[in-house]
Amino acid sequence: MSIHIVALGNEGDAFHQDNRPSGLIRTYLGRSPLVSGDESSLLLNATSTVARPVFTEYQASAFGNVKLVVHDCPVWDIFDSDWYTSRNLIGSADIIVIKYNVNDKFSFHEVKDNYIPVIKRALNSVPVIIAAVGTRQNEELPCTCPLCTSDRGSCVSTTEGIQLAKELGATYLELHSLDDFYIGKYFGGVLEYFMIQALNQKTSEKMKKRKMSNSFHGIRPPQLEQPEKMPVLKAEASHYNSDLNNLLFCCQCVDVVFYNPDLKEVAEAHKIVLCAVSHVFMLLFNVKSPADIQDSSIIRTTQDLFTISRDTAFPGARQDSPGNPPLRVVVKDALFCSCLPDILRFIYSGAFQWEELEEDIRKKVKDSGDVSSVIEKVKCILKTPGKINCLRNCKTYQARKPLWFYNTSLKFFLNKPMLADVVFEIQGTTVPAHRAILVARCEVMAAMFNGNYMEAKSVLIPVYGVSKETFLSFLEYLYTDSCCPAGIFQAMCLLICAEMYQVSRLQHICELFIITQLQSMPSRELASMNLDIVDLLKKAKFHHSDCLSTWLLHFIATNYLIFSQKPEFQDLSVEERSFVEKHRWPSNMYLKQLAEYRKYIHSRKCRCLVM
């Protein structure tokens, strides 16, 4: 079996007689792990000279035993001087590669106008790859005029390359350099895909011809059945917004209390949530200074609406508050204060349900002018420094994501001492955190901080059994509802931490990450990797990750020929070994039939049609 590739075009700036650069094809053949033993010889037609060869022929082996023949033609003159040879080469090609340098626009247009129409007529359902090689130098901004777009600048634009690919029905690639990534993984991956398709097509045609000839009437080869379908793991829906919204109603870990001008308590809240959505509250609670914000409207709103009372004889002060008492904030504006509970519900729900907020305010404030005044104050509270009227259109804004959307506002406070009221001690280092977020997002920590436990009254809390990196990833999920483990091992450590604190959705995220990583590994990587898959299975079972453990058993059974050769395979329990043997792929029955078929073929001294 052989594959014939024809490469046309010059991807370099120029070819010199004494110093000829290593081109795209030569570099790929020299670096690809699937290609070995390449040899090159110069093939000259009648009009060429030794100084300027028309074709360079490379012969190599691909995929072990497939002969690979590549004809590389850097010049296009052959289509003028020897049309017969060029037509035969294109007609016999399994794959065609057209390459050009992105900085040689004149040659590109010459090829496009004179030779591409000729190639189109000679093509016969052959896959074509167009490779744009090089980094554009002195590239000018594209012109918007439709009459001069194609002539603008000295470089071949991406649009021109894609348009050429569309004309030929080709695959377009941009290779900025001839390094391992662009050659081995990018260009090589696409080329090897088409090589496999060509092999499959040739094998299929060969099998059809043999069946038609009826030259063999013996035992039919065994049919390999498909492996069993892997269990589907469904992700758990996020309850991030509802967790933070419920924090307002549970009244746990309250660290700020709002009072009206008459010093009567109006509402309770949490500094961390308020600062996550508003620079006004950051300024009020000294998280940021006026110099940091540099916005006069935010500074003026803070001074006009709120004042902090530090009077020890405050009429509404709680005498039974353990530890540090909540901060007392007096709301100066009586109208705004009457709507404050509704405004807080609006902020805790994600600060995007503007229509509901307006309706709640209208129920308490009858005058339309007063309603507009309160709404404008809310907009100023939620304003981003330096932006003018960023929340002018509330109906448009309500369709946006919440202001503390994942990986933004609350992540600003992750592992930061600002507003922190608890410190975790892990592996000799400390990690500051905020009780309100922990209580809202984790039921185990809610019970720990509000029950009759030592942690409820302690600021420094030791953590055992997890590393600092794993615990920081766990806190990142609690703060942002997202996480990105560095690998399978880190994901398993995070899953164990999530099981310890009973955060089921994080467990599902880690399970999905591990499954996705294992599914994406090719067979040869599974065979050579150092990860102990059986140890992973036992950890999943021990930490009650039933979905992952079931999936791993199916995964071991589906890749039986790989994992059965590993020493850890012997560590499977009797029940696990029985399951794997029952669901193994390929099955014992198929291997027996295959052995009998091979024996029959050798006995008749015939060549096997399959192997």
pLDDT at position 492, please? 96
For the stretch 228-262, pLDDT in tens is 888 887 878 888 888 988 998 887 889 999 999 98
Residue 205: HSE in the Cβ half-sphere, 13 Å Cα cutoff? 7
pLDDT at position 198, please? 87
DSSP state string for 368-420: HHHHHHHHHHHHHHTPPTT-SSTTS-HHHHTTS--TT-TTSTGGGGTT--TT-
Pair type for strands 128-133 and 171-175: parallel
Please report which confidence band the pLDDT of residue 312 belongs to, taking 50, 70 and 90 as the band edges: low
Which one-letter amino acid corresponds to residue 47?
A: T
Cα 67 from Cα 74, distance rounded (Å): 23
- 58 phi, psi to nearest 5 deg: -115, 135
Mean pLDDT of 138-145: 57
440's CB contacts (< 8 A; 6+ apart) are 243, 244, 246, 247, 446
pLDDT higher than threshold 70 for residue 408: no
N-terminal to C-terminal alpha carbon distance within the chain: 13
Cα 424 from Cα 467, distance rounded (Å): 12
pLDDT at position 487, please? 92
pLDDT higher than threshold 50 for residue 547: yes
Residue 462: strand, helix, or coil: strand
pLDDT higher than threshold 70 for residue 396: no
153, 165, 91: which is closest to 122 by C-alpha? 91
pLDDT higher than threshold 80 for residue 592: yes
Mean pLDDT of 54-75: 83
Mean pLDDT of 511-530: 91
pLDDT higher than threshold 80 for residue 548: yes
For the stretch 264-308, pLDDT in tens is 999 999 999 999 888 999 999 999 999 988 889 999 999 999 999
Tokens at 393, concatenated: 């259109």
Please report which confidence band the pLDDT of residue 574 belongs to, taking 50, 70 and 90 as the band edges: very high
Tokens 């709680």 belong to residue: 318
pLDDT at position 435, please? 94
More confident residue, 315 or 542: 542
Mean pLDDT of 385-401: 53
For the stretch 344-383, pLDDT in tens is 999 888 766 788 888 889 988 888 888 899 999 998 998 8
Pair type for strands 327-331 and 256-259: parallel
Which of 17-21, 223-227, 530-534 has the highest mean predicted lDDT (pLDDT)?
530-534
Q: Which of 69-78, 254-263, 423-432, 468-477 has the lowest mean pLDDT?
A: 69-78
Overall residue count recorded for the chain in this entry? 611
Residue 396's CB is within 10 A of a number of other CB atoms, namely 10
pLDDT at position 15, please? 36
Mean pLDDT of 94-113: 87
Please report which confidence band the pLDDT of residue 433 belongs to, taking 50, 70 and 90 as the band edges: very high
Which of 35-44, 160-169, 447-456 has the highest mean predicted lDDT (pLDDT)?
160-169
Burial bucket for residue 121 (CB in 10 Å: 0-12, 13-18, 19+): exposed
95, 49, 51, 50: which is closest to 72 by C-alpha? 95
Pair type for strands 460-462 and 422-426: parallel
Domains of the chain: 1-38+52-137+154-206 (3.40.50.300), 248-310+323-380 (3.30.710), 408-581 (3.30.710.10)
pLDDT at position 442, please? 94
pLDDT at position 17, please? 39
Tokens 């229509």 belong to residue: 355
